[in-house]
Amino acid sequence: MKILVAVKRVIDYNVQVRVKEDGSGVVTDNVKMSSNPPDDNAIEEAVKFKEAGKATEIIAITVGEEKSQETVRKALAVGADRGILIKTEGTVEPLAVAKSLKKIVDREKPDLVLMGKQAIDDDCNQTGQMLSALLNWPQATFASKIEIKDKILEVTREVDEGLEMIEVNLPAVITCDLRLNEPRYASLPNIMKAKKKPLEILTASDLGVDTAPRVQQIKVEEPPKRKAGIKVASVAELVSKLKNEAKVI
């Protein structure tokens, strides 16, 4: 089984994101970037399949600027066999990413596409679903457990009500939840080896994909500051405040 894993370079989850003064976006200059955390789970799962003898090849792919190579290299360091960067400039929306991935799927013919359930920068949670529609493949989103049964996958999904078990036929698109596994560390020797693994660089226009944004972003603003809490003296005062000031009861 051949697995394609899509990864994204995002602002590190520990960094306090700052809105640009002119409201045109968020500050990314000299900000620590990392791979999107649920994408790490996707790579980990693929590597586990390979270690268990169930996958033959893992291709890590990303769509983004030149520097996104780092994220592919990280995937190579934890066990992907080769990498692809589809180079783009500026904001790329989920639909453009899904279309780019489709082109690569058409070429590489993987049996399974894995990716994180959403990216922590735009929180869109759309790319996997769009790709599955474009390919007309089954999808399983928010996977917290994946079992391979011949040509069928048994997937446990994290849903609002609890867990949902579904079966999907291969080929399929699966988006991964953080509960799926514990991503491994890239070891130093593997980071070195990853530098020598093949990484193909294409541009979106090579693939004939139009990445122009379909959504116009008008303004980015910080959420309003939360007001400090107060202490109330009695239950009666609390009830009165909830009723009259907060108007929630």
Partner 1 sequence: MDYDVVIVGGGPSGLSTAIKLKQLDPELNVCLLEKASEIGAHILSGNVFETRALDELFPNWKELNAPVKTKVSKEKFLFLSKTKSISWPTWLLPSVQQNHKNYIISLANLCRWLAKQAEALGVEIFPGFPASEILYNEDGSVKGVATQDMGIDKEGNKKDSFEPGIDLNGKVTVFAEGCRGHLGKELIKKFNLDKGKDPQQYGIGFKEIWEVRDNNHEEGMVMHTAGWPLDNNTYGGSFIYHAENKQVFLGYVIGLDYKNPYLSPFDEFQRFKTHPAIKKVIEGGKRISYGARALIEGGIQSLPKMSMPGALLVGCDAGTLNMPKIKGSHTAMKSGMIAAETIFEKFKENKELSIYEDKFKKSWVYEELHAARNVKPSFSWGLILGIIFTGLDQILFRGKLPLTLKHKHADHETLNSANEMPKIEYPKPDGVITFDKTSSVYLTGTNHTDNQPVHLKLKDPNLPINYTLEKFDEPAQRYCPAGVYEVRVESNINKFVINSQNCIHCKTCDIKEPSQNIVWVTPEGGGGPKYGNT
Binding site for partner 1 (CB under 8 A): 12, 14-16, 18, 21, 29-32, 34, 182-185, 187-189, 191-192
CB of 27 to partner 1, least distance (A): 8
Cβ proximity to partner 1, 36 vs 127, nearer residue: 36
- Strands annotated E in 71-230: 82-87, 112-116, 139-149, 152-159, 162-169, 172-176, 199-203
Cβ proximity to partner 1, 141 vs 144, nearer residue: 144
CA distance 210 to 61: 18
Cβ proximity to partner 1, 166 vs 178, nearer residue: 178
CB of 41 to partner 1, least distance (A): 12
CB of 131 to partner 1, least distance (A): 29
Q: How far is CA 227 from CA 19, 230, 235, in A?
A: 20, 9, 21
Residue with tokens 């991935």: 101
Give which of 76, 73, 41, 38 is closest to 57, Cα–Cα. Answer: 76
Cβ proximity to partner 1, 123 vs 185, nearer residue: 185
Judge whether 175 and 141 are in contact, CB under 8 Å. Answer: yes
**Coil, strand or helix: which one is 3?**
strand
Give which of 36, 11, 39, 34 is closest to 175, Cα–Cα. Answer: 39
Cβ proximity to partner 1, 78 vs 168, nearer residue: 78
Token pair belonging to 152: 């069928």
**Residues 159, 160, 164, 169, CA torsion sign:** negative
Residue partners of 135: CB distance under 8 A and separation at least 6: 102, 105, 171, 173
CB of 26 to partner 1, least distance (A): 12
Cβ proximity to partner 1, 32 vs 247, nearer residue: 32
